[in-house]
Homo-oligomer: A and B are copies of this chain.
Amino acid sequence: MNISDIAKLAGVSKSAVSRYFNDGYISDEKRERIREAVEQTGYDPNNSGRKVRKKITSLVGVIIPKLSSESCAKVTEGIGEVLDNEGYQLLLVNTSYNSSKEVESLDFFRNNRVDGVILLSSAITKLHMTVLKKMRVPTIVVGQNVAGFSCVCHDDEGAAYALTKLMIERGAARPAIIGVDRMDTAAGQARYEGFSRALSESGITHRTEYVETARFTADSGYDKANRLLSQPIPPDAVFCATDNIAAGAMLCCLEHGLKIPDDIMITGVGDSQVGSITPVPITTAHLHYRTSGIEAAKMLLEELRKKDSVRRILKLEYDIVERGSTKINHIT
């Protein structure tokens, strides 16, 4: 079933049918005849044909490190919401934190497989940059600031700073950090820096024994907290790079018989679901993941429309969500 069949059936030319589906420069009578033929056959124009001709794909490539991470899923939902309404489809690649697969995918999208690309990357390597520079379709980066590209970022450093500062204000004298790999520019590096700045500003000395690096899981947070608590002088506050890690750390603290927040304060980042159902709700920073997806999609649409649109960097602010894990005088 193709455009010619419909044309024959409706007794018009191919062009008329094409117009029916596009601009619609057509008489009511023919329009009606075509409508009937289409209805009868359930005909749906083949996209590939249109694509060769129009040199568009109506596809947007989305590269994400881990689909089953709450934050990535939220960003992707935001992207989908906007793009769907504009007639674009999402071509999704889940790289499972595999950096070389990220590069591969970029390379795959580079030419004309898709009209545009949105990249959520955990770490941008030199290899990434090489491929990124060769991109011939508009590309937006979410989660970090990459030279030469429009980006939507979260204020990871600021959020980490604010949370650490908050614990210090609440009386923390020995804050520790359970971070993640610094290769991850946002969740790893930036959040570490924020933590660090809060310490420096408050004149608290850094102790390497108060710095742990976990994976993105609660289990891992539990283990690292265990190490912190086995110190001769354990910390009295723990800033965790994610709420999941914080939840694990909390469990560990409670099992050690510590009272939260009195004996030890805990904070996370991201405002994940988990943070509100822990024995003591976790103070965290809401990072507007959904919004960043929405904004990235809008930026892409912008670039898709005007070929020469200017590069822009959008930094989304965080919201501190204070809960029981830091409030002094909290009733458990």
Contacts and interface: CB of A to CB of B under 8 A. Distances in A.
A76 B76 CA distance: 13
Interface in A274-327: 274, 276-279
Given A112-B47, A134-B42, A74 B80 contact: no
Contacts of A244: 273
Given A52-B49, A111-B44, A77 B84 contact: no
A247 interface: yes
By size class, the interface of chain A is: 35 or more
Interface stretch (A20-28, A85-93, A197-205): A85-93
A248 B281 CA distance: 12
Given A80-B93, A217-B273, A277-B274, A67 B57 contact: no
Interface string A30-65: 000000000000111011110110000101000000
A113 B47 contact: yes
Nearest to A274: B274
B51 A80 contact: no
A230 interface: no
A191 interface: no
B93 A91 contact: no
B48 A52 contact: yes
A89 B91 contact: yes
B68 A57 contact: no
Contacts of A51: 48, 51-52
A120 to B, nearest CB: 13
Contacts of A113: 44, 47
A96 to B, nearest CB: 8
Q: Which of A74, A80, A89 has the most CB of B within 10 A?
A: A89
A110 interface: yes
B77 A247 contact: no
Interface of A: 1, 42-44, 46-49, 51-52, 57, 59, 67-68, 70, 73-74, 76-77, 80-81, 84, 89-94, 96, 110-113, 134, 217-219, 244, 247-248, 250-251, 254, 273-274, 276-279
13 contacts: A42-B110, A46-B52, A47-B112, A48-B48, A51-B51, A59-B91, A67-B77, A68-B74, A80-B92, A84-B94, A89-B92, A90-B93, A279-B279
Nearest first, the 7 closest Cβ-Cβ pairs linking A and B are A48-B51, A68-B73, A44-B111, A279-B279, A92-B92, A218-B277, A48-B52
